[in-house]
Amino acid sequence: MTPPREKRGLVRPYVVTEGRSHPSRNTFDLLTLVTSTGQDGSALNPEKRRLVTLCAGGALSVAEVGAWLELPLSVVKVLLADLTDSGHIRSRPPIPPVELPEVHLLQEVLNGLRARL
């Protein structure tokens, strides 16, 4: 017996990406933040429209976009590259982690606080 199909149907990734397996730009990693530029997306295909609508609410990481759209990350990166090229999406690298201060600096602060108490 054949298992039941999902409600949303089955669309192969190569159909969504129009047969491409690599993005036009290789600037997206899992933590790259993407936002919508507010351009009209009515002429886009359904997946790209969903992506633009999703990113209109604020900055999301590439990993979050893939999870929300339930698409493989390779497909999401191709779609994001297309939308960046067309001006619908803006991307920026993730916010770098704060560098921890040197141990000796923390020790001097602690010694200074202890001296005041």
Domain membership flag for residue 5: no
* Residue 91 domain boundaries: 13-116
Domain membership flag for residue 54: yes
Radius of gyration of the chain (CA): 22
Residue 54's CATH number:
1.10.10
Domain membership flag for residue 87: yes
User: In this predicted model, what pLDDT tens digit does every residue of 34-80 receive, in sequence order?
Assistant: 998 888 878 888 888 888 999 888 889 999 999 998 888 888 888 88
Domain membership flag for residue 3: no
Domain membership flag for residue 93: yes
Domain membership flag for residue 71: yes
pLDDT in the model for residue 28: 84
Q: What's the structural domain count of the chain?
A: 1
Rounded Cα distance between 71 and 48, Å, is 12
Domain membership flag for residue 7: no
Domain membership flag for residue 96: yes
User: In this predicted model, what pLDDT tens digit does every residue of 79-94 receive, in sequence order?
Assistant: 888 888 888 999 888 7
The three-state (H, E, C) secondary structure of the chain, written as one string? CCCCCCCCCCCCHHHHCCCCCCCCCCCCCCCCEEEECCCCCCCCCHHHHHHHHHHCCCCEEHHHHHHHHCCCHHHHHHHHHHHHHHCCEEEECCCCCCCCCCHHHHHHHHHHHHHHC
